[in-house]
């Protein structure tokens, strides 16, 4: 694929960024994608390797060598056809996927991998610009009705596939806008929400009905998860109205840190804040927004959500940003012969880290644990920490490493434990040991829960995961639902 000797002739070219001084003034995207010539050169680097490990490294099994070659040949229209054959929303993954395909690239064994994600980004942006992304309404209707609960990437992918199979699909979303954690859990500077809006328009033209502000089942009164619902529909009522129900809600229950002082004002889940900021960006009027202006901010958690807060705090005008990670600092470069083609453990520095570091605001601390939050008059003033090391299968404190950090705002970004339990309880589905809906991914009977005609996919089934995994599960679950309703399915799995 590509040019036979391209991987020896051309170097990897990264997508560009707008200057930090410019992008910190707003919450809009700042990535400068590849132009046509750069994308062609990156496509030329694809090696025509005997076994394209990138395909299996990609959760949706994108046919990567083929679209790389098509871009190299200048056949962009067929490139988007190939890309869409496995991925409903490449404009999402082309922006926010961590690109496990690139880690699996054969060229990555001893060189820089092919810029697969940047090529995907270029293909879909070109396709939208050229008007190649059009509604695909079904030729025939089946008369079957399917309810999809949750409008994140899993729900949207499943809804689109089921609608194209001819079913009448209604998507229920508890919040005021469609997108789930795509809309409310990802900062606009990583992905502007206009990308979701135009997909919603496409899906509506394909026959999908969206109902926002509608909660299915029950909701815990003390939940900190974003919920704008003004209408509640009982699970039994929904089951009676539809031939199949697919649960695709996100894993929104944040992992807490129950240490002394947790109740102090100024300690929040990161997912209390991120939806607020995105709502403000969309023009919503809110009361009591969490702000980082003029504050010393500490983010507890070293993953993507923590990085998102590291990027948001300077845009508010934070005085400093410190990020804590319980695990020790990983190596800057992985041992490729040992880990390839799998996703490597190595130090990852996001654009948000680079922004804060360039402004002199960022400090990253590894192998550190929070022992208590401290405050005065009910308000947070700092936190007590200790360094830890992993011994005999557990973390132990390093003697003499105690330290107190000043802090006006602490964001807990330590991952998510499970979906909101009351939604699953309303349907009476069996759960696994982690509190997710219990359902297999087998070819026969896959994604079916313990309750007849109720299926589950995405975070609701597998737990917290990547957008690309959610799309995969949504597509596969759609096929399972279609087969359940019709006795067979022509949808791809």
Enter the DSSP assignment of 171: E
Q: With contact defined as beta carbons under 8 Å apart, do 126 and 196 qualify?
A: no
Task: Single out the residue of 96, 142, 120, 126 nearest to residue 43, CA to CA.
Answer: 120
Largest CA distance in the chain: 71
Identify the three-state secondary structure at position 201: helix
Q: How far apart are CA 77 and CA 421, in angstroms?
A: 44
Q: What is the DSSP letter of 27?
A: S
pTM for the complete prediction? 0.96
Closest CA to 457 of 444, 443, 476, 442: 476
Contact present, 118 and 15 (Cβ < 8 Å):
yes
Give the three-class secondary structure for 439. coil
Q: Which two three-digit tokens encode residue 107? A: 């060229």
Give me the residues of the chain with pLDDT under 70, please.
1
pLDDT reported for residue 48:
84
Per-residue model confidence (pLDDT) at position 408:
96
What pLDDT is recorded for position 177? 97
Dist. CA 295–CA 405, nearest whole Å: 13
List, in sequence order, every residue forming a beta bridge with 370; answer none if it has no partner: 385
Sorted by where each starts, the structural domains of the chain and their CATH numbers stand as 6-130 (1.10.1060.10), 145-253+417-486 (3.50.50.60), 256-414 (3.50.50.60)
Residue the block writes with tokens 């799309």: 471
Within 13 Å and on the Cβ side, how many CA atoms surround 205? 10
Exposed / middle / buried, residue 263 (Cβ in 10 Å: 0-12, 13-18, 19+): exposed
* CA nearest neighbour of 246 among 330, 156, 320: 156
Torsion of CA 133, 139, 142, 146, to 10 degrees: 10
Quote the CA–CA distance of 482 and 444 in Å, as a whole number.
Answer: 12
Which pLDDT tens digit goes with each residue over 91-125?
999 999 999 999 999 999 999 999 999 999 999 99
> What is the C-alpha separation between 243 and 265, in angstroms, rounded?
47
Structure-token pair, residue 320: 């400093």
Asked if residues 160 and 123 have their Cβ atoms less than 8 Å apart, the reply is no
Q: Where are the alpha helices (DSSP H) in 266-350?
A: 270-281, 304-316, 336-339
Residue 251: its pLDDT value, please? 94
Given this model, what pLDDT does residue 286 score?
87
Contact 87, 60 (CB under 8 A): yes
Q: Which two tokens stand for residue 491?
A: 């949808």
Q: Is 259 exposed, middle or buried (0-12, 13-18, 19+ CB in 10 A)?
A: middle
What are the tokens at 246?
């697919």
Q: Read off the tokens for 433.
A: 């040991």
Question: Based on the number of CB atoms within 10 Å of its own CB, is 229 exposed (0-12), middle (13-18) or buried (19 or more)?
Answer: middle
Q: 296, 284 in Cβ contact below 8 A?
A: no
Query: Cα dist. 10→44, 75, 110 in Å?
Result: 8, 20, 15
Q: What angle do CA 67, 71, 76 make, to 5 degrees?
A: 90
């Amino acid at each position: 694929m590509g040019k036979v000797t391209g991987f020896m002739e051309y170097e990897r070219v990264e997508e560009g960024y707008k200057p930090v001084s410019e992008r910190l003034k707003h919450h809009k995207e700042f990535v400068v994608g590849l132009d046509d010539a750069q994308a062609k050169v990156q496509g030329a680097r694809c090696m025509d390797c005997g076994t394209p490990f990138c395909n299996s490294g990609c959760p949706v099994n994108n046919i990567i060598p083929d679209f790389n070659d098509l871009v190299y040949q200048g056949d962009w229209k067929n490139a988007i056809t190939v890309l869409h054959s496995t991925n409903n929303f490449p404009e999402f993954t082309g922006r926010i996927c961590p690109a496990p395909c690139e880690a699996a690239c054969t060229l990555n064994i001893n060189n820089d991998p092919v810029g697969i994600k940047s090529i995907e980004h270029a293909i879909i942006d070109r396709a939208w610009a050229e008007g190649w992304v059009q509604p695909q309404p079904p030729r025939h209707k089946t008369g079957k009705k399917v309810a999809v609960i949750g409008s994140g990437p899993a729900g949207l992918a499943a809804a689109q596939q089921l609608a194209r199979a001819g079913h009448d699909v209604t998507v229920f979303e508890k919040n005021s806008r469609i997108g789930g954690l795509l809309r409310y859990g990802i900062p606009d500077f990583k992905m502007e929400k206009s990308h979701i809006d135009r997909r919603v328009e496409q899906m509506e033209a394909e026959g999908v009905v969206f109902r926002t502000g509608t909660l299915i089942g029950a909701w815990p009164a003390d939940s900190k998860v974003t919920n704008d619902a003004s209408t509640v529909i009982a699970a039994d009522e929904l089951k009676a109205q539809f031939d199949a129900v697919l649960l695709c809600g996100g894993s929104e229950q944040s992992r807490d840190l129950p240490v002394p002082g947790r109740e102090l004002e100024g300690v929040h889940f990161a997912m209390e804040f991120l939806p607020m900021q995105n709502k403000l960006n969309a023009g919503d009027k809110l009361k009591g927004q969490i702000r980082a202006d003029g504050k010393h901010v500490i983010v507890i958690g070293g993953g993507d959500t923590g990085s998102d807060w590291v990027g948001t705090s300077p845009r508010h005008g934070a005085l400093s940003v410190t990020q804590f990670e319980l695990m020790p600092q990983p190596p800057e470069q992985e041992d490729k012969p040992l880990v390839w083609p799998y996703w490597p453990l190595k130090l990852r520095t996001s654009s948000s880290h680079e922004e804060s570091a360039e402004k002199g605001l960022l400090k990253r601390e590894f192998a550190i644990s929070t022992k208590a939050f401290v405050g005065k008059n009910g308000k947070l003033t700092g936190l007590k920490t200790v360094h830890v090391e992993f011994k005999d299968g557990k973390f132990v404190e390093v003697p003499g490493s105690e330290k107190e950090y000043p802090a006006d705002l602490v964001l807990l970004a330590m991952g998510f434990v499970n979906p909101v339990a009351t939604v699953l309880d309303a349907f009476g589905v069996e759960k696994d040991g982690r509190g997710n809906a219990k359902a297999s991914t087998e070819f026969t009977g896959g994604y079916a829960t313990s309750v007849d005609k109720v299926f589950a996919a995405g975070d609701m089934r597998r737990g917290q995961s990547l957008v690309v995994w959610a799309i995969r599960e949504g597509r596969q679950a759609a096929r399972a639902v279609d087969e359940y309703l019709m006795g067979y399915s022509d949808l791809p799995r």
